[in-house]
Amino acid sequence: MQCVQPGMYVTPDMFERHLAFLSAEFQLISFSELLALWTACRWDPMARYCVITFDDGWLDTYRHAWPALRRHRIPATVFLPTAFIGTDRWFWPDRLGLIMQSHFREAVPSRQNRFRRLVKNFPWLMPAADAFEHGDTDAIVECWKVQPQEQIDACLEEWLAESQTAFPSQRILMNWKEVCEMSSCGVEFGSHSVSHRIMTTLSQPDVAWEAAESMAMLREKGLSPIPVFCYPNGNWSPLVADQVREAGYRAATTTQFGHEKGKPASWLGLKRINVHQGIACNESLLAFHLAGFNDWL
């Protein structure tokens, strides 16, 4: 079973309620329409625009979110990590979560011994020692994000082999047939890189490759992707933005909380608002969150 991080989901019923609320309170537009408004300087300061985006290409976006979007006739954009689409691969935080579930079914001495063995080969694990002890997967994920992907993969492979954890064969991401079906019905797609590595941990040539190759793959699959890049984990820098711009993108999205107005401070650093079950489990809390009050607390 997949381990779902808090802040990564809403239930189907709550998503329907969110869409009904947004339809009543905002002018819902596509990302392409947003770019056109900015480019042509046709932004209406009295309007309340809203663009809905999804990251990663989760299968439940196809199975649950898309049918609801169609019922409400709401446009949306999905950002895809192209090397994962159409495969049974899992993102490393999901792999870690599943391993941690197995880890905490073991006796305490066994867990402690395994951690000590892992630290010998991967000393960068030490800052997460308390999180390992208490089973705080989210804290471990945050600690690991600064590490090169190769180190994370190597650690997970060693841990997986030693613990003999078996990964289920369930597919958790969309395939290209599903992507093309959604695209033919008006859903927009953009790039979320190729490998989903955090861009600020990569060399400039690697960032350039991630940006260019992911766009090329979307086009190769017959899509007409929007010229918008979505930074994995939201991490970016001026140097990363330069590489994204040179790859042909007009804009890029972050995970920084905030609203955009008629003239963005940075087209390559667009703010968004993450909505999830824990922070918006009814319409009043959704309105509170969208207004920015949670960010002030």
Q: pLDDT tens digits, residue range 106-128?
A: 888 888 888 899 999 999 999 99
Q: What is the pLDDT of residues 27-77, one digit of tens each?
A: 999 999 999 999 999 999 999 999 999 999 999 999 999 999 999 999 999
**Lowest mean pLDDT, pick from 181-185, 212-216, 289-293:** 289-293
Largest CA distance in the chain: 65
Residue 58 tokens read as 């989760």
Rounded CA gap, 57 and 63, in Å? 11
Query: Is the pTM of the predicted complex or chain greater than 0.75?
Result: yes
> pLDDT averaged over the chain?
93
Q: Which residues contact 254 (CB under 8 A, 6 or more apart)?
A: 231, 234, 236, 269, 270, 271, 272
- CA 265 to chain CA centroid, Å, is 22
Q: Which fold has domain 12-88+175-296?
A: TIM Barrel (3.20.20)
Q: With left for phi above 0 and alpha for psi between -120 and 50, is residue 68 left, alpha or beta?
A: alpha
Q: For residue range 219-259, what is the model confidence (pLDDT) as tens digits?
A: 999 999 999 999 999 999 999 999 999 999 999 999 999 99
E strands, 94-233, in order: 188-191, 228-230
pLDDT confidence of 169, banded at 50, 70, 90?
confident
Residue 197 CA to residue 145 CA, distance in Å, equals: 9
First CA to last CA distance, the chain? 34
Looking at the chain, the domain(s) classified CATH 3.20.20.370 span 12-88+175-296
Q: For residues 164 and 178, give the distance between their C-alpha atoms in angstroms, rounded to a whole number.
A: 33
The rounded Cα 7 to chain-centroid distance in angstroms is 11
At residue 1 the predicted structure's pLDDT band, cuts being 50, 70 and 90, is very low
Share of the chain above pLDDT 70, in %: 97
